[in-house]
Structure 1
């Protein structure tokens, strides 16, 4: 199978915490992939829009996407749920680079459209994809162009569909009856989901979990890029068709597969985290002014937008006013770089 065919399959996996894939492997798979996208593609009604001009994927404009892992779909959970895993991805073919920024679910921020300040992951619970996109857009001061969601069952099925992923697990733990031993191991869907979800037994808490989630993204991408055979792609499509949603269309994906190949050769990874504090007896992550500004400008550079010397003025939720709690921090942040390819 030619490289561009594998890339078409792998692109959405990068965009969805490495979780959704498509390819053209003969007319049968073309038709099946198109049908899957017709099923999972859902437009979203936004309240805000930072774009003065619409981006064009066909013309290779850099764009952003919000990836959300929803805490439903398994373990008997059928409610709306919350976006307990959130990552913002920027894709820039000219720079030949993509970025993945993990957002802590407990970040204390404005929930746009709900007139409250709360944990970031509550935005999805209150208003679905649109409110989550609007709230992240406000927090990071960048346009959020697209979204992709996948629930827990989809994550589990996808890991099984690619034949498992190999990791080096630093913490021997058991989560809800699933044991994941320490050392170099191959995770199937059941243990892989536990590996991506475990938080309380990790000394770093949610920060450690986010690091493992980014690892799962990269591992799934690498595994998909190495797969051959129509049966594997059918398994991947089956894994995502009932457990994922996106506002990307099949035509968008065809254009991404044609125009954005260079952007996926290098994936830069960072983590936006704050300082844990109790407010009214509830745990939140309060962001540092320096790190928030660093993250905003990093994403703006990737999207080829003007950067700022300070946090955006006129926004009471991102300029350190008494209504929004930011603290002065020294500029420390977690940065990882990974290169993918054949």
Structure 2
């Protein structure tokens, strides 16, 4: 070491750090790409009678997503416990998020009669859910992202929990949820977003909690610093998430749309009525409110309302 000057040592350390950084970045890239390939499921989705084009070949324009929280069961496709439509406008740098009550009474695409909107997943999976929601809201929906609720628990635990502002004190089984800022584990978050019977706002209160937890997950994931946490999150995503987004489209969105996610407006149905038909409980939307929400989303997507 006697012939080693401090400059050589500095250069050696810098070289080691640079090599390590390159290896680490390559690992991140290959891991994320591998995960994206695993969760990708090509879907022949029709949007306003046209095939969806990859985002990377478009000019920068508004885009829409359907988020499905799926409660799958053994030997049963299950139901879409959560249905949220997200529209993103990169020009105004804004995002709108609309929760659809799971018991909403709607025409089911490809079926001869109306039913609860979350049954569309049980009847025809992601494809039928996409067509049903798109027809119901009269907007084009470009992409679908489905999450198995079992993975929801693991994802939050991998993020070391999430923090939300709770507006209603309540208890579910052994879990206590006081008002104010609360930290949630995966199991606590699952019970938190599922509770509705003790909420004076019923399913609407649950929808708001779902959106709070969803935003908390996005914010926490964006701030991840641990390599091990990234690996665990990517493994969970690979096992429990499915989407028609390709890896290139994900990169395009991350590069061009991320600023639009900083300002999120929450929308919801508020004026509908509960009705029991043939001993089954349904939620009937108010036609005027539905038309108003359709218009808001259409304008946000810079689309003209179509005549159904």
| TM class, shorter-length | 0.7 to 0.9
Deviation of residue 230 (structure 1)?
A: 1.9
TM value normalised by structure 2: 0.86
Query: Would you say 1:259 and 2:256 are equivalent positions?
Result: yes
Query: Would you say 1:194 and 2:191 are equivalent positions?
Result: yes
The answer to whether the 8 A contact 1:51-1:143 is kept is: no
Q: Deviations over 1:47-82 (max 9, x none)?
A: x53055755522222111100001126xxx562011
The answer to whether the 8 A contact 1:55-1:61 is kept is: no
Query: Would you say 1:132 and 2:152 are equivalent positions?
Result: no
Q: List gaps (5 residues or longer) in structure 1.
A: 1-23, 316-342
Query: Would you say 1:180 and 2:179 are equivalent positions?
Result: no
- State the distance in 2 between where 1:196 and 1:217 align: 10
The answer to whether the 8 A contact 2:54-2:249 is kept is: no
Counterpart for residue 161 of structure 1: 158
RMSD of equivalent CA atoms: 1.9
User: What's the secondary structure of 1:227's corresponding residue?
Assistant: coil
**Which is higher, the Rg of structure 1 or of structure 2?**
2
TM value normalised by structure 1: 0.77
- State the distance in 2 between where 1:52 and 1:271 align: 28
Which of 283, 288, 304 lines up with 2:286 in the alignment? Answer: 288
- State the distance in 2 between where 1:80 and 1:123 align: 11
- State the distance in 2 between where 1:89 and 1:25 align: 33
Counterpart for residue 66 of structure 1: 66
- State the distance in 1 between where 2:187 and 2:81 align: 18
User: What's the secondary structure of 1:80's corresponding residue?
Assistant: strand
Counterpart for residue 151 of structure 1: 148
Deviation of residue 286 (structure 1)?
A: 0.8
- State the distance in 2 between where 1:144 and 1:45 align: 12
Superposition map of 1:267-282 within 5 A = 267-273=264-270, 274-282=272-280
Superposition map of 1:67-86 within 5 A = 67-72=67-72, 77=74, 79-86=76-83
Deviation of residue 239 (structure 1)?
A: 1.9
- State the distance in 1 between where 2:47 and 2:261 align: 26
Deviation of residue 181 (structure 1)?
A: 3.2
